[in-house]
Amino acid sequence: MTSATRPAATAPRHTVGTGHAACHHGEILQGRFLDERRRPVHALVTLPMNGPGSTAYFTHRPGSPPDEVSVTPDGRTKARTAAVLAVRECAARRGADPCGGELTLTGCLPVGLGMGSSTSDVIATVRAVTDAWGLCLPPETVARIAVRAEGASDPLMHDPRPLLFAQREGRVLEALGAALPPTVVVGCTLAGGGPVDTLALPAPHHDGDLPAYGRLRRMLRRAVADTDTALLGRVGTASARLRQRTLCKPEFPALLAIADSTGAAGVQIAHSGNVAGILFDPRAPGLRHRVRSCARALEGEGCTPIRTFTTFASPSSEEYPWTRTSRKPSADRT
């Protein structure tokens, strides 16, 4: 039998693949930056957060059409699209016939708060599909699939290094260093924890701000290189201030006042959602008192504290047990 007449391979049978993806806590920096060809490109640097995320399970349905993918729970259309795209990618790499399957998603990420819930779903889905096929796709391929499924994507498919990521093109503009400076983040919700329709947001076109974003990019690069939490806070605050013109947060002046009164390094926000954080240097004296005072002040302003976490590897629940919070965002999903 010649290669021209050899039947195509088939997908693995009765194989369940699993995949997981973490979330993030909005952005440290987001705006328009010049790429390697000096073109203005929308890009962002996310604030990673360990813990919550999405887990996906994918089971092949041999003989079914490749677009026939059922999803539980209903309504996860972006994840379904990602599953179909991932199936076709894996089948092409295996030289096999694609087929549909069953996708199940679990997790407790709030939707529409700017924590990357849809990207987490999508990446977990792609990882589950590729696991079912016995493959592991490179992050660049996962990013391409995620952008096709969502229209824009966070860089959660990459390792947690700080990356300047073109979210609408799915590519890394710059790896800024090994890790963000050590930071304790007191996270809270704005606008009562209500979701934001990210697809309805206007795209900012402040070309006049390109020099400002270029400066913030250089400042962030230096903050990472020097492990300078104070400089990181300045970058987050400046980026949040620029974003006010596109998605105004009425609570922003209160966040600034609380950060100032508690000796924080600065603030950060979700540029397309309603989570925000007050940033503290863990090496600052009286950190426990500062964090607790911050949480009380946020509560008093109606900015409900929901989680306190760190940017460094050691779990905050062990090194900083007093930073844990028990509240959950009102938009939690099942």
Q: Residue 60 class from Cβ within 10 Å (0-12 exposed, 13-18 middle, 19+ buried)?
A: buried
CATH architecture for segment(s) 9-173: 2-Layer Sandwich (3.30)
Q: Report which of 53, 113, 30, 50 is spatially closest to residue 303, judged by C-alpha positions.
A: 113
Q: Are 30 and 270 in contact (CB under 8 A)?
A: no
DSSP codes joined into one string, 151-212: SS--STTS-SS-EEEETTTTEEEEE--SSPPP-EEEEEESGGG----GGGSPPP--GGGHHH
205 class by beta-carbon count within 10 Å (0-12 exposed, 13-18 middle, 19+ buried)? exposed
pLDDT for residue 7: 45
pLDDT given at position 206: 60
pLDDT tens digits for the chain (334 residues)?
A: 443 444 455 556 557 999 999 889 999 999 999 999 999 999 999 998 877 789 999 999 998 998 999 999 998 999 999 999 999 999 999 999 999 999 999 987 777 667 778 899 999 999 999 999 999 999 999 999 999 999 999 999 998 899 999 999 999 999 999 999 999 999 998 877 665 655 555 655 566 789 999 999 999 999 999 999 999 999 999 999 998 887 788 999 999 999 999 999 999 998 878 899 999 999 999 999 999 999 999 999 999 888 899 998 654 444 444 444 444 444 444 3
* Domain 177-323 top-level CATH class: alpha beta
End-to-end, the C-alpha distance of the chain in Å comes to 52
**Would you kindly state where each structural domain of the chain is located, as residue ranges?**
9-173, 177-323
Q: Which of 275, 247, 231 is nearest to 25 (CA)?
A: 275
Helices H / strands E in the chain, number of each: 8, 12
pTM confidence score:
0.87
**Res 321: pLDDT:** 43
**What per-residue confidence (pLDDT) applies to 249?**
87
Bridge-based pairing of strands 40-60 and 101-107 is antiparallel
Q: Mark out the alpha helices in 72-138 (DSSP H runs).
A: 77-94, 117-132
Nearest to 172 by CA among 187, 155, 159: 155
**Please, how many CA atoms are within 13 Å of residue 227, restricted to the half-sphere of its CB?**
8
The H or E element containing residue 328 is none
Give me the pLDDT at residue 10, please.
Answer: 58
